[in-house]
Structure 1
Amino acid sequence: MATNTSAVQDPGSARRRKIQRLLRSVFGVTRLRAGQQEVIDSVLAGRDTLAIMPTGSGKSLCYQLPAALLPGATLVVSPLISLMQDQLEKLQQLGITAVQLNSSLTRAEEDEAIARIAEGGKLIIFCTPERLASPAFLSLLGAAPPSLVVIDEAHCISQWGHDFRPAFLEIAAALRALGRPPVLALTATATEEVIADIDTQLEARKLHIINTGIYRANLRYRVIQVTNAGEQQDAVLRLLRETAGVGIVYAATVKAVEALTARLQALGESVSCYHGKLAARERKHNQDLFMGGERRIMVATNAFGMGIDKPDTRFVIHLQVPANLEAYYQESGRAGRDGLPADCTLLYFQEDKRVQQFFLAKHYPTDGELAAIVAAAQELPATFTIDALASSLPEYSSSHLKVCLKLLKDGKLLRQDRKLGYSLKAPLAASPTYAQLAHIYVGKQERDRQALEQMVAYAQSGFCRWKLLLEYFGDADDFERCCTCDNCQSPPALAAPISLDEIPQAPAVAPAPAGLPTPQLTVGSRVRVPRYQTGTVLSVAGDQVTIAFPENTTRTFMAEFVAPA
């Protein structure tokens, strides 16, 4: 009997035809971008998937299209209410049923959303990680578990990530309570450490990682060195007057945001500000002014962060150095989402490193705190909630308690049941000591310190800015130079020294006389540089040479300033 080959192959081809119809008729897209097809195929195959795709590459479509094909609901866990509100409005414009559950809703709006979720069927549900941790919400979802759970801004899951949110630590328990549906995690940035931690925290099943890279050719990076705070503000004013279009100025502290905003307002600039100490209503009003085009400039702390999607942003200026390159890439990447050229400028004042060092001295769990939490838990019912524990320990914030509880759970002193209640395990004596558990965060502190040093090295470097970013994220491959950053456009005579403790100002170095050929330099050869002693070549990368000098000093120069000894 003949086999009907077309019938055997039909399900796959039928799905592809349906995807093409959906792209055109619903999303108004003629074809998928790089990486999108692979992510969508992975999701529809039911695989746990991590998609690392640059800002503006269409990550949202990677769950929106499968949501239209999967039988049940798609749950999207998002860290920001403004982000889910923006996504919700876009979906509603496309005629796709979607609801949100978060603290911004009125009681009537929340009741309406809950009623729609209870009906079941195809829809997209947006919630915060805090809402997902609610037993009542899990019970509501449990009646018809979602076909897919999406974790947006997935780097927030990782305790090694720059935007870590303790509420994300409870997602794995929530997934178990929902029968462990397939997961799609989305982020624009993730180092190898963060990827491994996302895998662990999600308790993923053979996590399929799709990384399309972080490079965005339309972003032009540069660093301007300044020597004092006054020069810093003057540089911002000059940049704002020289640069057309709308943009964001990031500052590290509320004080710096308010000072710059006041000065710009006094000068008649169209400016608004955003930081965590403003009332929620004022933050929303200021954000709406900027997003709606009524203000040209937004001065903000990193509280004005994930989910800010204003495609025509032409510039992002950092008044002060961020804590690490992940944060810098995320924040600067809010420029140029329309694909047109945009400028990303960092003003580097060496003293600003101390601001970030102050923030890095944050309060990590100690063995004494872990012991106090266990002691308090022993006075509570056998199964207790985090709210009950917080009532017993009012001196601890909810976020801090969540981190401590995660440590105790990892140390097998604590368990979490299907409804996200906690209970102590017995016997406690067989578990690791509190000191052993708390020691985990010694590594976290050291990692944060190193990340700040790498950020400072970027600011001081004479190498291609994009190459430095790509190397940091393990994405450089054969990339040599972007040809658009400040160091590519005007190569410095001297790149920064590699030592990061006290970075001196680079002395002036006289270039080789015009017309002389650049010497052929090889690793291990002895060379000399004006104003420096004779040294040994450690590496040659294009026209940049790294040389070791006596007393363990290592510096990088343009080849034209280096001569054989």
Structure 2
Amino acid sequence: MRDTLQEAFGLRRLRPGQREVIDSVLARRHTLAVMPTGAGKSLCYQLPALKMPGATVVVSPLISLMKDQAEKLEDVGLEAAEVNSTLTTREEEEVLDRIRQADHEFIFTTPERIADPEFLATIRRNPVSLFVIDEAHCISQWGHDFRPAYLQLGAIVAALGHPTVLALTATATEDVIADIGKQLGLDDMRVINTGIYRSNLHYQVVTATDESEKLSHAVRLARDTEGSGIIYTATVKAVEEVLGALQEAGLSATSYHGQMGTRMRTENQDMFMSGASRIMVATNAFGMGIDKQDIRFVIHYQLPANLEAYYQESGRAGRDGNDSDCILLHYARDRQVQQFFLARRYPGADDISQVYTALQELGAQTGPVTLERLQDSLDDVHDNRMQVALKLLKDGELLRQDEQLAYHLVRANAKPKELRQLVDVYRDKSARDHDALDRMVFYAQTGFCRWKVLLEYFGEEVEWSHCGGCDNCRRPPEQDLSPEHVRHHAPPMQVEKGPEVGQAVKVARYGEGRVVSSAGDKVTISFPNSETRTFLRNYVELV
């Protein structure tokens, strides 16, 4: 393995966690690897795949992501095929011919493409030893970036004869980890979690009182911070506003969002990756898996929906291990944008009823119903909501899929009440999403160590309570100004007895003083210059 590592990839040693994942895969164990951005997740399937017979199928959520990974394999002389919507008819047929002849060790595709029965049949002509799911958090209905197309993957693994599965992600709460195994039908997955902490990332929050002040902050931070960086927004409109302001200030910037044409997105991505543009302004459509080592800052212009999304996106900074800044611009009204998105996210009783009725009608005509035929018959139901409705019908044992991924109604006489009950599961999901948004707001307003808040959200314990690198650790806030409704959702903190009145204490950057009062998590201190300030107790040390 060491020889292969050096000969094929030019590397002398593995990073922490990689060896454990690779050994698990080679032992043919279904594995979920939770590793931070920059930890080398791709090598965890590339290296063992060279030691396993048959093909390796890699499912990636974004075409730009698979393009980046496939090119890196080809650069070291390994065969890699990409099958996605960017290929012309002739190009696709050439690639499919080579796959039929078993010319490719690696096959990269999207979850949408691999769900096509004809393409799946092409892959099945040769043995598949390893099935890799990149950005595996997209599988989970409890995850921050849930993609309904991923719900097909459990059936696809079964159709391929149950090859070894390796699922990879940088972020996963306990709920998401459990749900990934459930959705894949693999309750025995081995979970290898190397933790999320990266000491080179320095988190900070800059508060704005209105839109114009927020835009000024974005321009100032982009201008004053050296190196390349990404500015994330929640909407396409904000992308255009920020890009215009940066260019007006004379800064080198380009943009990326889902409403752009494929060619323009590719050109803009290439400009950023090559350094021709210093700053990328983008929605979350950009960046997943992009291997640009020298990103020195990631600025969030609008509040993300939750801490999982925030960590995933901010973690694209500093992949080379050098110090990088992760900055959130916090304007209170940005919360409303995410609330709007949440309200439109899930299927309702009407959606599931329309899907069920369409399956009844199409099934009466032709028997098994393909996804393509169902999509053609449902103009009024968004594709994402349709796929979730299908999953709910399968969970309710009203529907099953065969090896060709066609749908069969198990019962064609379900009552409206039964269908409504299937949708009720999303009331829970919606409540959790709103709670996650509250936790995101808490992070933006808290006076606690920002890394500590992130770690506690992901259920990780560390011995320290201050990272020493975030804004709250570098300059402790005088008091926590979180509203009561946000403070209610704060990560639980251990309450210890505070310093007593009159005791000598010290606070970083302020020096020594004496306690005037202590109540709850607040300590008021009088300093020798007669100033009196209030701090969170965690930042106060006894002398």
TM-score (norm 1): 0.86
Is 1:544–1:559's contact at 8 Å kept on the other side of the alignment?
no
Q: CA deviation at 1:426?
A: 2.6
The equivalent residue for 1:517 is 504
1:464 maps to 449
Alignment identity in percent? 53
Q: In 1, Cα distance between the equivalents of 2:260 and 2:355?
A: 32
SS in 1 for 2:276: coil
Larger deviation: 370-379 or 224-233?
370-379
How many Å apart are 1:516 and its aligned residue? 5.9
Partner of 2:409: 424
2:63 aligned residue: 81
1:121 Cα offset (Å) = 6.2
Q: 2:271 corresponds to which residue?
A: 289
- The alignment status of 1:96 with 2:78, answered yes or no, reads yes
Superposed CA RMSD in Å reads 2.6
**Structure 2 Cα separation of the partners of residues 486 and 190 of structure 1:** 25
C-alpha distance in 1 between matches for 2:516 and 2:373: 67
Q: Measured at CA, do residues 51 and 544 of structure 1 come closer, stay the same or move farther in structure 2, by a change above 3 Å?
A: farther
- Alignment correspondent of 1:52: 34
Rounded to whole Å, the distance in 1 between the matches of 2:416 and 2:191 is 34
| One-letter identity of the residue aligned with 1:188 | A
Output the CA distance in 1 between the equivalents of 2:144 and 2:240: 24
Deviation (angstroms), 1:39: 0.4
Residues 388-416 of structure 1: CA deviation (Å, up to 9, x unaligned): 22222211122221111110011011111
Measure, in 2, the Cα distance between the counterparts of 1:65 and 1:405: 36
2 CA distance for matches of 1:478 and 1:430? 55
* Cα distance in 2 between the residues matched to 1:43 and 1:432: 45
Question: Which amino acid in 1 is paired with 2:384?
Answer: S
Give 2:106's aligned amino acid: I
Q: Does 1:557 align with 2:536?
A: yes
Does 2:307 correspond to 1:325? yes
After TM superposition, list the pairs within 5 Å mapping 1:243-258 onto structure 2: 243-258=225-240
- Residue pairs, 1:345-364, within 5 angstroms: 345-364=327-346
- Which blocks of at least 5 consecutive residues in structure 2 are unaligned? 489-498, 507-514, 526-533
After superposition, the Cα gap between the structure-2 partners of 1:262 and 1:122, relative to the gap in structure 1 and judged at 3 Å, is closer
Question: Which segments of 5 or more consecutive residues in structure 1 lack a partner in the other structure?
Answer: 1-18, 504-511, 520-527, 546-554
SS in structure 2 of the partner of residue 475 of structure 1: coil
2:477 to 485, 492, 495: 492
Aligned to 1:152: 134
Measure how far apart 1:427 and its partner are: 6.0
State the distance in 1 between where 2:97 and 2:157 align: 22
Q: How many residues were matched structurally?
A: 512
What's the CA shift for 1:63?
Answer: 0.3
The answer to whether 1:407 aligns with 2:392 is yes
The TM-score normalised by the length of structure 2 is 0.89
Q: Deviations over 1:358-408 (max 9, x none)?
A: 111114222232222222211112211122222222111222211111100
Provide the C-alpha distance between the structure 1 equivalents of 2:296 and 2:380, rounded to a whole number of angstroms.
44
Distance 1:431 1:96 in 2: 53
The equivalent position to 1:393 in structure 2, one of 378, 381, 391, is: 378
- Residues 501 and 27 of structure 1: is their aligned pair in 2 closer, same or farther, counting only changes over 3 Å? closer
1:499 Cα deviation after fit: 2.4
Quote how far apart the aligned CAs of 1:248 are.
0.7
Contact 1:376/1:393 (CA < 8 Å) preserved in 2?
yes
Give the Cα–Cα distance (whole angstroms) in 2 for the partners of residues 51 and 29 of structure 1: 21
Q: Identify which of 384, 392, 401 aligns with 2:369.
A: 384
Number of the residue aligned with 1:438? 423
Give distance in 2, aligned partners of 1:561 and 1:212: 31
SS at match of 1:252: coil
How much has 1:42 moved relative to structure 2? 0.5
Tell me the distance in 2 between the aligned counterparts of 1:442 and 1:387.
29
Q: Of 459, 474, 482, which aligns to 1:474?
A: 459
What is the DSSP-based 3-state SS (H/G/I as helix, E as strand, rest coil) of the residue aligned with 1:500? helix
| 185, 192, 203: which one aligns with 1:210 | 192
What secondary structure does 1:433 align onto? helix
CA distance in 2, matches of 1:428, 1:403: 20
1:278 to 260, 285, 290: 260
Q: CA deviation at 1:47?
A: 0.5
Residue identity in the other structure for 1:517: A
User: Does the 8 Å CA contact 2:352/2:386 hold for their aligned counterparts?
Assistant: no
- CA pair 220-84 structure 1, distance change in 2 beyond 3 A: same
On the 8 A contact 1:43/1:49 being kept in 2, the answer is yes
Kept in 1, the 8 Å contact 2:137–2:145? The answer is yes
Q: Alpha-carbon deviations, 1:181-230, whole Å to 9, x = none?
A: 11000000000010011010111151100000011111111011111111
